[in-house]
């Protein structure tokens, strides 16, 4: 019997049918925690793998989210492909997918079919709006979910249109919830011995993020306004992004001690008893004057100068950094969260580590994704004890794709497909 690795999910076998960001991120978190993840893609690769044909760096997210996975191809529109999937599911602990509702059922490999084959299976489904309800069949992408969830309505400035969050907020937040649901179900299975259907809807994971904005709604009985960089519920001041001579700094003062420290930092202790600023409520009521005080002080300082003063006086603040600064962040590199690697397609890129840290456990180094179908033969031989002849027959029937070295020119690790 093999020695168990010092990783929390070692010994857990995952079938990853995830695509784009939501599903692949959940499965990647499991892989970084030690799970054996088998990623199944269509013969042309999943959508993000295909993007490199559009621009050089467009496929880089695939490398970020699919390292430490064994990559195989399988045509699930083929009955023989579905038969292979079912055989793999028999020996799996988790199957994860984020297709539209009903797709896996149409393949003949939905929850009811697979749980009958393997009662211990955790079947995880990530969708836009859930597996039930009147909106379940609506098409869902990150921007559309941000729109329908209310996030866009409260993002942006009062005199401008609704704005989406810059990052893929819905995709990754729901992917994190999907991971949490899977691990929770695995914990339960220790006691019941039985798996469970776990589902996460992107829309539902965004609602709790509106907590501050809902404060305004409940207090005023009206739709919260877009507040730019100010507090979403217009209940905290200072709370904004302020311009230095060479950039911007975000400042927040939740406690009275923060405001007192800020007054000392900007040399305006004389305002400590000024009724316009004496309480948080007063500062919110006099929001323009509150922000004006800070803006007037900061505009003559560089970002580094103002940041140093604010840190020394323990004022919650941070510079607004661009992505060049972020990927070179000494702090995250020192902690091992970011790691530079040389990618055969994208050149030198940064890979993230697992944000969830298991102290005392081993940590996997950064790894890029395997080439399309690189592990197909090994997985079928190791997991299903298929012979070379059986694998060759599946390949001849178009159930699995060619080996990477047999793929046509241009079908590189992140550019196969369109």
The predicted pLDDT at position 1 comes to 54
127 contacts 204 by C-beta, under 8 angstroms:
no
Pick the CATH number of 239-320 from 3.80.10.10, 3.30.1540.10, 1.20.120.430, 3.30.300.180: 3.30.1540.10
* 395 pLDDT tier (thresholds 50, 70, 90): very high
What's the whole-number average pLDDT of the chain? 93
With tokens 């507040």, the residue in question is 227
Which of 41-50, 91-100, 304-313 shows the lowest per-residue confidence on average (mean pLDDT)? Answer: 41-50
CA 276 vs CA 62, 189, 286, 288: distances in Å: 52, 58, 6, 11
Q: What are the helix (H) ranges across 168-315?
A: 169-192, 202-206, 211-220, 256-265, 280-285, 287-298, 303-312
Average pLDDT over residues 247-275: 95
Which of 42-56, 96-110, 275-289 shows the lowest per-residue confidence on average (mean pLDDT)? Answer: 42-56
Angle subtended at Cα 172 by Cα 329 and Cα 184, rounded to the nearest 5 degrees: 110
Give CA–CA dist 330/326, Å, rounded: 9
Give CA–CA dist 266/251, Å, rounded: 13
The predicted pLDDT at position 346 comes to 82
| CATH class of the structural domain 13-207+331-406 | alpha beta
Give CA–CA dist 267/265, Å, rounded: 6
Which of 257-261, 292-296, 346-350, 360-364 shows the lowest per-residue confidence on average (mean pLDDT)? Answer: 346-350
Report pLDDT digits (tens) over 207-241. Answer: 999 999 998 899 998 889 999 999 998 889 999 99
Per-domain residue ranges for the chain? 13-207+331-406, 239-320
Average pLDDT over residues 40-66: 83
- Which among 171, 291, 375, 377 is annotated as catalytic? 171
Which of 87-101, 274-288, 300-314, 343-357 shows the lowest per-residue confidence on average (mean pLDDT)? Answer: 343-357
Catalytic residue check, 171: yes
Average pLDDT over residues 313-339: 96
């Amino acid at each position: 019997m093999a020695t168990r690795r010092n990783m929390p999910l070692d010994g857990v076998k995952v079938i990853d049918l995830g695509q784009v960001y939501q599903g692949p991120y959940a499965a990647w978190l499991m892989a970084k925690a030690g799970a054996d993840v088998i990623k199944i893609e269509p013969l042309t690769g999943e959508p993000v793998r295909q993007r490199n044909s559009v621009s050089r760096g467009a496929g880089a997210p695939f490398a970020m989210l699919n390292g430490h996975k064994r990559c195989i191809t399988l045509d699930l529109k083929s009955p023989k492909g579905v038969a292979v999937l079912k055989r793999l599911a028999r020996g799996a602990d988790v199957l994860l997918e984020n297709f539209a509702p009903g797709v896996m059922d149409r393949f003949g490999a939905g929850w009811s079919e697979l749980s009958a084959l393997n009662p211990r299976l955790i079947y995880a489904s990530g969708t836009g709006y859930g597996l039930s309800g009147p909106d379940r069949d609506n098409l869902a992408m990150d921007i559309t979910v941000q729109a329908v969830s209310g996030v866009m309505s409260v993002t942006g400035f009062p005199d401008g249109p609704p704005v989406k969050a810059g990052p893929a907020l819905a995709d990754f937040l729901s992917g994190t919830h999907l991971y949490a649901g899977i691990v929770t179900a695995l914990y339960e299975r220790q006691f019941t011995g039985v798996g469970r259907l776990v589902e996460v809807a992107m829309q539902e994971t965004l609602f709790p993020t509106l907590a501050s904005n809902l404060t305004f709604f409940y207090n005023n009985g009206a739709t919260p306004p877009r507040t730019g960089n100010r507090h979403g519920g217009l209940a905290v001041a200072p709370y904004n992004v302020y311009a230095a001579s060479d950039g911007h700094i975000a400042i927040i003062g939740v406690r009275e001690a923060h405001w007192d420290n800020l007054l000392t930092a900007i040399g305006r202790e004389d305002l400590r008893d000024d009724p316009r600023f004496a309480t948080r409520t007063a500062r919110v009521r006099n929001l323009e004057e509150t922000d004006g005080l800070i803006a007037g002080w900061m505009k003559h300082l560089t970002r580094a100068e103002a940041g140093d003063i604010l840190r020394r006086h323990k004022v919650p603040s941070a510079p607004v950094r661009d992505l060049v600064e972020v990927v070179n962040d000494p702090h995250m590199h020192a902690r091992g969260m970011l790691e530079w690697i040389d990618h055969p397609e994208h050149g030198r890129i940064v890979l993230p580590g697992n944000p969830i840290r298991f102290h005392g456990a081993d940590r996997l180094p950064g790894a890029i994704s395997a080439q399309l179908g690189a592990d197909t033969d090994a997985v079928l031989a190791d997991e299903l004890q298929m012979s070379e002849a059986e694998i060759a027959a599946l390949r001849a029937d178009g159930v699995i794709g060619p080996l990477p070295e047999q793929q046509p020119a241009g079908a590189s690790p992140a550019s196969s497909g369109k």
